[in-house]
Chain A
Amino acid sequence: MTVLVALPVLLPLFAAALSLIAGRSPRVQRLLGVGVLTAIAAIAVVLLLETDRNGPVVLQFGGYAAPFGITLVADRLSALLLLVSALVTLAVLIFSIGQRITDYGRQTASTAFHPMYLMLCAGVSLAYLTGDLFNLFVAFEIMLASSYVLITRRTTAARVRASMTYVIVSLTSSLLFITMIALVYAATGTVNLAALPAKIAELDAGVQSSLALFMVVVFGIKAALVPMHFWLPDSYPTAPAPITAVFAGLLTKVGVYALIRTQTLVFIHDASWTVLLVIAMLTMIIGVLGAIAQNDLNRMLSFLLVSHIGYMLFGLALFTVLGLAGVILYVVHHITVQAALFLTSGIITRHTGTVSLQAMSGVAKAYPLVAVLFALPALSLAGIPPFSGFVAKIALLQAGAAVGTPVAYAVTAAAVVTSLLTLFAVTKIWVGAFWGKVAEPHADPDPTDEVTVGTGSTSKGMLVATGGLVAVSVLIAVFAGPLAAMSERAAADLLDGGAYQTAVLGADGGGR
């Protein structure tokens, strides 16, 4: 069983290598990619069932007990996120394969895409599973390096600037990450996540809270918390639709995951958390206002992404079981829905030939299926019942009301306002793009740029992949009961921390 924890990392790593070697055979590459991601999803299911029944599954890599070797840990939270991520990456890969076949034909090899995509998946998996702070840095770097390559592929004059913004900001956050590790090591002498809480508890209060907030900054850049979010809407929308989908759906959530993991495991809850509530409120409001100001469909979705990261920070900052359960539900919902929206946006722009909402019209009449594929996740994003976003939102609002401090009430109210403004933004898309007379597709504005906007048909693979994601988001709502119960157990684990530490360090609480 324990070896299963390593497979979600090792499988895509080796598959990436194989895929690189098999660069001239697109069939092999496609089979490798789909096969490995399916396998990860299956492993994630097994891990999820196992951790839910018997507690965290731990692999001490190389056989060295924690805190000496590197530990891989799957607990309920990481197994759940691993599963959702595997499903989303799989759907995006199928979409991408469908798009490439439509655009370039079956035989066109793509040496870089598949290996880099698998590397990205390996990085994401490692980030969820690792129990070591420095290894988490390595996981981030694998993920980010592959994302740099993916976002700069086939870059054109218009897009190179945007990818530069992305790469430079991400590198800055990586360097701050190293700085943070140095700070942690200077203060505690360990980088093992399970061993940290005991050491951190001995530190002065000022050191503790400043370290916690330094981590918020480091991971907040990745998760796009206000005021460290500006880079995101400038860079994500310029990538090809499937890449944007996986970036928006997953990469920000890996930041959120790192926030949840470090903040709950390592730090005690104190007054400085009020700061987090305020950041959460700012993120929600500034993000959604940004969305309303946009005319570009993808930029609008990107700002909505920023806005809804605020919800996740909100639940985390409440630091109650219900709040954290809400965050977990929200992350699971949001990964799926945001990816589905970006994929649908990719299909829309292929049909209309433009990303400008003002220039689109009548998509619902011309492509009713696309309208459904957009409407379901969009309503879900706006938190309209009975979709997945509503379930997660309800949990968060109840958690906010239950905490009952003035700041908590204020943020709860802000969450409701954000919900309304999200609906406003989504309606803007619906009314602008979907209603009205059917319009002729616009001519491709930049023929040299074949990725951002390209007119063309959509293949079945793209629709099936998008539909699959939408179905997953509906299933999240249908099975909200078991999922919420699982999230609550995961949240209780997180707040308690004992199960994680015992599983990693052994019952005596540390080393030999």
Chain B
Amino acid sequence: MLTAIAAHFVLAAVLPLIARRWGRGAFVVGAVAPALTLVLAVSHADDALAARHPTETLAWAPGIGLEFTARFDELALLMILLVSGIGALVLCYYACYAKPGDRAVGRDSALLVLFAGSMLGLVLADDVISLYIFWELTTVCSFLLVGGDGLTKKLRKSATQALLVTSLGGLSMLLGLILLASASGTTRISEILADPPGGGVVPIAVVLILLGAFTKSAQVPFHPWLPGAMVAPTPVSAYLHAAAMVKAGVYLVARFAPAFSDLPAWWVPIVVLGLWTMVLGGFRALRQHDLKTLLAYGTISQLGFLMVLVGAGTWITALADVTLVLAHGLFKSALFLTVGIIDKRTGTRDIRELSGLGSRWPVLTAFATLAVLSMAGVPPLLGFVGKEAAIEGLLTGDPKDLALLAGVMLGSVFTVAYSLRFLVGAFGTRPTVAPTKAPPSGVAMTTMVGIPAVASLVLAFAPWIVEPVLAGYADTYPLPAPDYHLALWHGLTLPLLISAVIIAAGYAMYRASLAPKLAGWIPERMSAQNGYRAAVMGLDRGALSITGRLQAGSLPTYLGIILVTMVVLPGAGLLAGGPLSPTELRAWDSWMQLPLAVLVLAAAGTVVLARRRLTAVLLTGVVGYGIGALFIVDGGADLALAQFLVESLTLVVFVFVIRRFPPRFVDARPYFRRARWVKAGIAAVAGTFVAVLAVLYSGSRDGLPEASRFYIENAESATGASNVVNAIIVDFRAFDTIGEIAVLAVAATGAASLILARARQRPPSLAALDETDGTDETDGERTEVKR
């Protein structure tokens, strides 16, 4: 199984090269991978059906729960029939559909095969992380396939919307899956399902997972991305947006339903949104003129229907659900491929411009009619078989199920009506419109339409071919299996009557053209597309507003915020920590400290007030010398010496630089003057805070630390120096000194280039000349040689 997935990816990697050589033949080559997968899956169907469920694992990073696990069971088998079967079909179809010499063939074929592989991985995945990985891969493929080369704004918008909406769901699903896995202690889906966790975060996890399913399967209110994605080439729409990718949401729900179908957090959102989606999609479909968009809304409606059936959570509805998943995949791909032929041959897919195609392409019309009838749930087609089962399953007498039945009936009436609208619109003859001129529909492409259409017919008469697979899935519910079998004819039963009523009502609705008259029935403000626009715009505006407010661009503000943080964070830690051991306080150690302290403080205070640069610099010098004197008092002779030396050097450099500056500080503008007191406040609080910490921390220890004692004891014997501070610097901690020298060298280099750069700077005209000849760098980088 894993090999099959990998084979898709490898093939996708080489397809661009094949396309360069064989042009659109690359699609046929690409079809080999899904076709072989289909054959393999069918030939090994026994493994899945006999409940052996073979499992393969490939460890990736098992320590953090990353591994690929594939498990082949009934649901996976059913999905492979769709994913690989339709995939191979669509790829072959695309080979005829693409224009010869189209440069996009390499990219599109590779992406489609990559997508087929990801879909295969998605339906086989048995651990939550691989499930997400393949899920997100399909999203990325969809983005690139819809966007194409992104030449028009419409393409870009649609692709982006599809990406963002499905990623929103994908990520929330990931979070849900992780919560679920962490609640159940395993990442294996089969193990989670076998022993579902309960309580605590599980309802939240379940809702998050559902969000993923709803976005992917275009449920209200996330659905608008799907009609938007119809800008993609029609084969892509047929595969991604009808047969495979949008089914991923339904698949996800179906996968987890056996474990959670009793949980209200699970079924309530599913049936409410599902019904809403089913009705809204059908209603919208009735108002479309573009055949493809009509089908897209039809897909939305059908996906809602499928959701409702899983949400209903009985054995028969589960059976009906998977039957309809299969039926929908078959008829919807056939219909999309039909639209592709119409679009390619006539250049339009607008109902109002098409006329007389039915008589021109009788074979295609016959196939499309089969598919449409299956969609409408008319016997003798697979769609009817599924719908019968669905109605049967909802006829339990439970009020909840009855309510669901009513909703499903309404949705089905819409379905019948838009099915007719599609069929007549595409193939009917309009007296007011001149018959559409069109070349023959093409044998190869028509055959591709015929395969799924005829399959809908054959399977309706012989449901036993697939029933073991479908019933096998329904059996995974912890419910007793009733004696129910898929069949065209159950006798004269209530479901049959309901079906008849639906078809009749649908026909009436189509004849009455009710839906267009209801235009404006849904207020524009409530439309989901507006919701998406508002969300994106809100995000942009919110980001702009927050960033505009926070990112002031002003260095003093930034430093102020840093200082406040420096007080608030450790301050909070201090307060939260409880009582502290007391520190002994003394007024001073030596009376000399007192006048020096006053001198230093007075000088420092005056720096703030100084108007002239030189005064400020000299006062800073006084502070430095004062500190040096304090070092002497403290017993740090070497330190004091260094301090005096460095202070003198600093003064020299300062004086050298401020010679160039105007003698007085430029006075602050009034706007900034107001901030002065805020700054003073912050500075005072932060400064005092540091001093307070100094007091509090010093109470913690006593006496000379062991390292210092070691230095004093060993300085002479180890280094031969009697000056311990020197011994530390040049010997015990020599590595610091090496670093210090490195910093000095770097700073000197930098300062030299900055100062000397000016001497070499030339007028812009000459600098521009320098750029063109490029033999000499225009700044002073070479100058450090003089150092």
Contact = CB atoms under 8 A, between A and B. Distances in A.
A62 B731 contact: yes
A113 B781 contact: yes
Contacts of A233: 551
Contacts of B742: 13, 16, 119, 122-123, 142, 145
B743 interface: yes
Given A68-B710, A115-B749, A484-B66, A412 B175 contact: yes
Interface stretch (B526-534, B587-595, B701-709): B701-709
Contact of A423 (B59, B167, B739, B781): B167
Interface in B57-97: 59-66
A69 B100 CA distance: 75
A437 B133 CA distance: 32
A34 B371 CA distance: 66
Interface stretch (A43-51, A146-154, A247-255): A146-154
B569 interface: yes
Interface residues of B, number: 117
Contact of A435 (B150, B551, B575, B754): B150
A145 B572 contact: no
A398 B178 contact: yes
B431 interface: no
Contacts of A447: 764, 767-768, 771
A70 B694 CA distance: 25
A398 B160 contact: no
A234 interface: yes
Contact of B168 (A149, A326, A379, A420): A420
B66 to A, nearest CB: 6
B777 A116 contact: no
Contact of B736 (A70, A153, A217, A322): A70
B650 interface: no
A142 B361 CA distance: 80
Contacts of B754: 152, 155
B351 to A, nearest CB: 32
A190 B552 contact: no
B665 interface: no
Nearest to A383: B171
B631 interface: no
A141 B739 contact: yes
Interface stretch (B245-253, B408-416, B576-584): B576-584
Nearest to B718: A64
B782 A111 contact: yes
A169 B696 CA distance: 27
Interface residues of A, number: 139
Interface string B206-248: 0000000000000000000000000000000000000000000
Contact of B547 (A113, A275, A290): A290
A397 B749 contact: no
Given A293-B548, A402-B182, A448-B764, A213 B573 contact: yes
B786 to A, nearest CB: 11
A445 interface: no
A325 interface: yes
A369 interface: no
A204 B580 contact: yes
Interface in B244-268: none
B750 A154 contact: no
A169 B574 contact: no
Contact of B705 (A169, A190, A227, A434): A190
A153 B733 CA distance: 33
A189 B558 contact: no
Given A168-B555, A217-B570, A290-B551, A153 B137 contact: no
Given A172-B559, A228-B561, A481-B62, 12 more contacts: A61-B735, A69-B733, A204-B577, A214-B569, A289-B543, A329-B64, A394-B64, A394-B129, A401-B181, A435-B149, A447-B768, A480-B66
For the complex of A and B, list the 9 residue pairs with the smallest distance between their C-beta atoms, beginning with the closest.
A206-B577, A435-B150, A189-B705, A209-B573, A149-B750, A138-B739, A292-B543, A205-B577, A385-B133
Interface of B: 59-66, 129, 132-133, 136-137, 140, 147, 149-151, 155-156, 159-160, 163-164, 167-168, 171-172, 174-175, 178-179, 181-182, 201, 539-540, 542-544, 546-548, 550-553, 555, 557-559, 561-562, 565-566, 569-581, 690, 693-694, 696-698, 700-701, 704-708, 710-711, 718, 731-736, 738-740, 742-743, 745-747, 749-750, 753-754, 764, 767-768, 771, 774-779, 781-785
15 contacts: A24-B782, A67-B706, A70-B736, A135-B735, A139-B739, A153-B781, A169-B559, A187-B697, A187-B701, A208-B577, A213-B569, A213-B572, A221-B562, A404-B201, A417-B171
Interface of A: 13, 16-17, 20, 23-24, 61-62, 64, 67-70, 103-105, 107-113, 115-116, 119, 122-123, 126, 134-135, 138-139, 141-142, 145-146, 148-149, 152-155, 164-165, 168-169, 172-173, 176, 179, 182-183, 186-190, 192, 199, 202-214, 216-217, 220-221, 227-228, 230-231, 233-234, 271-272, 275, 286, 289-294, 303, 322, 325-326, 329, 364-365, 379, 384-386, 390-391, 394-395, 397-398, 401-402, 404, 409, 412-413, 416-417, 419-421, 423-424, 427, 431, 434-437, 447-448, 450, 480-481, 483-485, 488, 511
